[in-house]
Amino acid sequence: MEFSDVVRARHSYRGFTPKQVDEQTLREIFELANWAPSNCNVQPWHVHVLSGDACDRMREKMKAAAAAEEPFNPDFPWEGKFSGEYKERQICSALGLWEHQGVTRDNPEKRAWSWMRNFEFFDAPHIAFIFVTDQFPELVRLAGDVGMYSQTLMLAMADAGIGSCPQTSVSCYPDLVRKELGVDSHYKLMMGLSFGYIDEADSANNLRTERDPLEATTSFYS
Ligand SMILES: Cc1cc2nc3c(=O)[nH]c(=O)nc-3n(C[C@H](O)[C@H](O)[C@H](O)COP(=O)(O)O)c2cc1C
């Protein structure tokens, strides 16, 4: 694919088939993502990729925690509150997703189902958890590095015909993830990424979010 086509082919997909990505492709994609830039080349990402049974075990644990409404204890604050134009965009994307999932605002059961899809990893056969160590005092720069890594990873997936969904939601149970994977508590969970082959029959995958025009976001000087 042309690079611009890869960028435009990446969307957040929220419905996957059970077909697994073969191991060699998996390794190539994650190796490519390692070439993302980072402040002083510190490469702060520590990535755990779960497939097959390992992914299913984690999914069951996370679903059980969410169903029992176990309190969230994310390693990084997550208010999920926005205001002004940012809130408008947030609402727009949430309503867009609900529309494609057949969820209406006045139906609390369906809304809960939509939220629970996060903890089902949208049926993906793989999930990656991206950790960072707690030895970085400059959280903003660290978050920037992880953002660059994650986008490189998602573009590499898009180029290989693999869909993905970045997820802050699944980082709300970091202790569960650390315990299941035997990860030390010095590693903090920044986000998850469900991925696999897209289920074309899942209408959630028809969602296309919009972007503000260039003039609204970017100023040029000469
Ligand atoms: C860091 C990050 C965390 C996200 N967390 C979630 C999440 O928990 N659940 C979800 O359904 N989408 C999540 N998203 C996806 C966003 O809603 C999505 O990127 C945005 O609406 C733009 O749509 P697009 O990715 O299809 O272009 C997340 C995206 C990012 C970058």
**Strand-pair partners of 188:** 132
107 CA to centre of ligand 1 in angstroms: 22
Query: What is the average pLDDT across 135-155?
Result: 94
Q: Give the pLDDT band (50/70/90) at residue 139.
A: confident
pLDDT given for residue 29 in this prediction: 98
178 CA to centre of ligand 1 in angstroms: 23
pLDDT given for residue 136 in this prediction: 86
pLDDT given for residue 81 in this prediction: 86
Residue 127 has pLDDT above 80, yes or no: yes
DSSP conformational letter for 197: S
77 CA to centre of ligand 1 in angstroms: 17
Close Cβ partners of 211 (under 8 Å, ≥ 6 residues apart): none
22 CA to centre of ligand 1 in angstroms: 25
pLDDT given for residue 78 in this prediction: 84
Atom of ligand 1 nearest to the CA of 208: 26
pLDDT given for residue 182 in this prediction: 98
**Residue 66 CA from chain centroid, whole number:** 17
Percent of the chain with pLDDT over 90: 94
Percent of the chain with pLDDT over 70: 100
Atom of ligand 1 nearest to the CA of 170: 8
Q: How far is the C-alpha of 59 from the C-alpha of 122, rounded, in Å?
A: 10
The average confidence (pLDDT) of the chain is 96
Q: How far is the C-alpha of 163 from the C-alpha of 157, rounded, in Å?
A: 7
Q: How far is the C-alpha of 36 from the C-alpha of 146, rounded, in Å?
A: 9
- The tens digit of pLDDT for each residue in 168-207 reads 999 999 999 999 999 999 999 999 999 999 999 999 999 9
Atom of ligand 1 nearest to the CA of 122: 11
Residue 131 has pLDDT above 80, yes or no: yes
Close Cβ partners of 192 (under 8 Å, ≥ 6 residues apart): 121, 127, 128, 129, 130, 166, 167, 169, 170, 171
- The tens digit of pLDDT for each residue in 26-84 reads 999 999 999 999 999 999 999 999 999 999 999 999 999 999 999 999 999 888 789 99
pLDDT given for residue 151 in this prediction: 98
Atom of ligand 1 nearest to the CA of 207: 26
167 CA to centre of ligand 1 in angstroms: 6
Fold of 3-207: NADH Oxidase (3.40.109)
